[in-house]
């Protein structure tokens, strides 16, 4: 909403306060020019704000793209989780087999030691 400035009323107030007609006219004109400059600056700032504000608004398409990306990430997380579980089971099997192998080796060494001592 533009700002209006009543130069005639302003001049009358200045004249009533003791300014001459010429002084009041110059003062009113300078004040009018300043008010118009401030209004132009306000309009420019407001239009720049609107321009940037609309650039930052998300559209329905933005939300749909985000939803698709999130679903894709969720699928990737589930895949990685299943892979971790599979790897955990593989490591566990390897550890158990190694322990059984070591136990068999230790038993055979002990058996050989006992057989050697019994001779």
Q: What percent of the chain has pLDDT over 90?
A: 53
Taking the C-alpha atoms of residue 76 and residue 62, their distance in angstroms, rounded to an integer, is 21
Residue range 26-41, pLDDT digits in tens? 998 998 888 888 888 8
How far the first Cα of the chain sits from its last, in Å, is 114
| pLDDT value at residue 44 | 84
CA angle at residue 13 from 12 to 14, to 5 degrees?
90
């Amino acid at each position: 909403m533009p700002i209006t400035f009543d130069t005639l009323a302003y001049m009358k107030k200045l004249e009533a306060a003791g300014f001459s007609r010429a002084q009041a006219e110059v003062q009113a004109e300078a004040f009018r020019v300043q008010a118009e400059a401030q209004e132009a600056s306000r309009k420019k700032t407001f239009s720049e704000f609107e321009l940037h504000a609309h650039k930052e608004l998300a559209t329905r398409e933005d939300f749909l793209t985000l939803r698709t990306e999130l679903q894709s990430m969720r699928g990737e997380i589930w895949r990685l989780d299943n892979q971790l579980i599979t790897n955990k089971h593989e490591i566990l099997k390897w550890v158990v087999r190694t322990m059984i192998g070591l136990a068999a080796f230790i038993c055979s060494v002990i058996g050989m030691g006992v057989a050697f001592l019994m001779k």
